[in-house]
A and B are shown apart, each in its own frame.
Chain A
Amino acid sequence: MSTLKFQSQAVAKPYFAFALILFVGQILFGLIMGLQYVVGDFLAGAIPFNVARMVHTNLLIVWLLFGFMGSAYYLVPEEADTELYSPKLAIILFWVFAAAGTATILGYLLVPYSTLAEFTFNELWPTMGREFLEQPTITKIGIVVVALGFLFNLGMTILKGRKTAINMVLMTGLIGLAVFFLFAFYNPENLALDKYFWWFVVHLWVEGVWELIMGAILAYVLIKVTGVDREVIEKWLYVIIAMALISGILGTGHHFYWLATPEYWQWVGSVFSAIEPLPFFAMVLYAFNMVNRRRREHPNKAATLWALGTSVMAFLGAGVWGFLHTLAPVNYYTHGSQITAAHGHMAFYGAYAMIVMTIISYAMPKLRGIGEANSNKSQVCEMWGFWLMTVAMVFITLFLTGAGILQVWLQRLPESGEALSFMATQDKLAIFYWMREVSGVIFLLGLLAYIASFFIGGKTAEKVS
């Protein structure tokens, strides 16, 4: 561990390792679902679609949270220029979160969801059964406890150390993440109110505070791999996340178009979500600009590739594909279609999966005591993983977009009586779903190549050092 500046940064390692294990699980369940789209009765008894879907999306959320926590534990001590307040607390919380997360996923898989709800006394405080917030109430409480302990640990570290822009932005992002999650506990009997405040978690996470976390991690890695002056990078960081929040907060309105809400949301949502791609575009300029201005050739080429890649893919997925269907007159036809699925896949991969892999790529060689970078052979394998996953995700997005356009054409545009039914339309989309599934398999191969890179050349590099 001699390559770490602060020994306590080592607590990031189990977080990163567990995140990647969950990522593999997420993709496997994605493939099961993808197949169920075309072979409807595949595993229907053992893993019904709703269970596979819940596991797929919950694993995504949880692995990203593990990734964010690992990132914070890695970069905050270095930014604050002091050891982490309590490495022991970080490790205890790791095990609490890992055990609770695993138990929850097993619960989804082993018992019917209604039984799980009954076991966990959902009727006393109903919070389950809403998209992405399917976790039993006790798990939700566990998440809050872990988040509070995590924020306490980081807060105490920053209080006794240096307060850089990266630290402050990361902290505001993480505090926002914890605060907005509290709306997960509010589940009124009125569906309209339920949905309205549900978006306080879902939108204000992924189109709000998570962007701060992403920006902070990207800025940190860019400083490290380019050697560009911190002042320049931090100024950019503030500008970008300011744009992200200014557009993203009222951009929540694009979820309130068809929800028993006043019609003015169609204007508010359309105008502000039209601005939402800008911070992502700025992020592309920023990442490439900083790498072009680099003052050192960092030996970790893979980490630089991830940093550039996440800016581009986040712009395409969150920015362009988001904008495609975010204006109210367009959204009227595309809302809840495969277009939404296309956007969701590329946005989550580009913005969040890739930023976590960016910092894992940068930090892992140091965490493993290898040095600044993995061996060349290992990096080549990692970059194969990058390209296979990224290109596969582009194709997944394109095929789902094709499916979505055809779905809108057949099911949404015609008048009642002439439109095809949902299931009849789905039959017509099968070819797109098959191609999506093939792309998904390639994505898995990319992920396996990425993981294999951790096992290549590690030994020889260690011997050299």
Chain B
Amino acid sequence: MSESFTKGMARNIYYGGSVFFLLIFLALTFHTTKEMPQRDHRENLTESVARGKALWEDNNCIGCHTLLGEGAYFAPELGNVYTRRGGEAGFKQFFSGWLKSQPLNIPGRRQMPNFHLNDQEINDLAEFLKWTSEMNVNNWPPNIEG
């Protein structure tokens, strides 16, 4: 680098540039949080959905599954599991049966633990997954398999 470009100038680009882009980021964040209610449909966020999210967290489901593509890659994506496994017609029944039959104990297969949730809790968790599946996430994932 030439002598005309001094350390002082480089420092000013660092501090000035960072602050400038941080401010843009904050402005975009402000705008995004204003827009999100139309996309996350928070009007449907019931107490049951909130309890479901707490159950999701308390049992560390993200340690195996992905949710909207984030989490561990060991077990299926659950952001769209509501639509994949029956939707309005059959999801809750499938989900309850699935949770209660864990672990499947098939030799060599990945095992899901049994979390011993009661029917109310299973319903809350299902409501949380249903709510999650109804968010507008720009059509991700590409297909039903997640």
Contact = CB atoms under 8 A, between A and B. Distances in A.
A453 interface: no
Contact of B74 (A37, A129, A169, A245): A37
A246 B18 contact: yes
B73 A411 contact: no
Contacts of A39: 108
A343 B137 CA distance: 23
Contacts of A260: 36, 39-40, 135-137
Interface string B7-23: 10011011001100110
A261 interface: yes
B25 A250 contact: yes
B133 to A, nearest CB: 11
Contacts of A41: 105-111
B59 interface: yes
Interface in B16-64: 17-18, 21-22, 24-25, 28-29, 31-33, 35-36, 39-40, 42, 45, 49-50, 53-54, 56-64
Given A39-B108, A44-B111, A419 B64 contact: no
A252 interface: yes
Interface residues of B, number: 74
Contact of A193 (B36, B63, B144): B36
A168 B84 CA distance: 52
Contact of B58 (A114, A169, A268, A411): A114
A256 B35 CA distance: 13
Contacts of A338: 73
A48 B17 contact: no
A242 B13 contact: yes
A129 B140 contact: no
B110 A49 contact: yes
Given A49-B74, A238-B14, A337-B73, A332 B142 contact: yes
A340 interface: yes
B121 to A, nearest CB: 11
A117 B57 CA distance: 9
Nearest to A261: B32
A268 B21 CA distance: 12
B90 interface: no
Interface in A315-348: 332-333, 335-338, 340-341
Contacts of B120: none
Contacts of B106: 41
A395 to B, nearest CB: 19
Interface residues of A, number: 84
Given A245-B17, A249-B25, A117 B45 contact: no
User: Which of A51, A193, A422 is packed against the most chain B CB atoms within 10 Å?
Assistant: A422
Contacts of B110: 36, 40-41, 49, 423, 426
Contacts of A238: 7, 10-11, 13-14
User: Which of A122, A266, A411 is packed against the most chain B CB atoms within 10 Å?
Assistant: A411
A297 interface: no
User: Which of B56, B59, B63, B113 is packed against the most chain A CB atoms within 10 Å?
Assistant: B63
B21 A51 contact: no
A126 interface: yes
B1 interface: yes
A114 B32 contact: no
B63 A268 contact: no
B143 A258 contact: no
21 contacts: A40-B111, A44-B111, A50-B72, A54-B63, A114-B115, A126-B57, A187-B57, A191-B131, A191-B135, A192-B36, A193-B40, A196-B36, A245-B17, A249-B24, A249-B25, A258-B141, A262-B31, A262-B32, A335-B69, A419-B143, A420-B145
Interface of B: 1, 5-7, 10-11, 13-14, 17-18, 21-22, 24-25, 28-29, 31-33, 35-36, 39-40, 42, 45, 49-50, 53-54, 56-64, 66-77, 103, 105-111, 113, 115, 128, 131-132, 135-138, 140-146
In the complex, the 4 A-B pairs of residues with the closest C-beta atoms, listed nearest first: A50-B63, A129-B57, A336-B69, A40-B110
Interface of A: 33, 36-37, 39-41, 44, 48-51, 53-54, 113-114, 117-118, 122-123, 126, 128-131, 134, 165, 169, 187, 189-196, 231, 234-236, 238-239, 241-242, 245-246, 249-250, 252-253, 256-266, 268, 332-333, 335-338, 340-341, 411-417, 419-423, 425-426
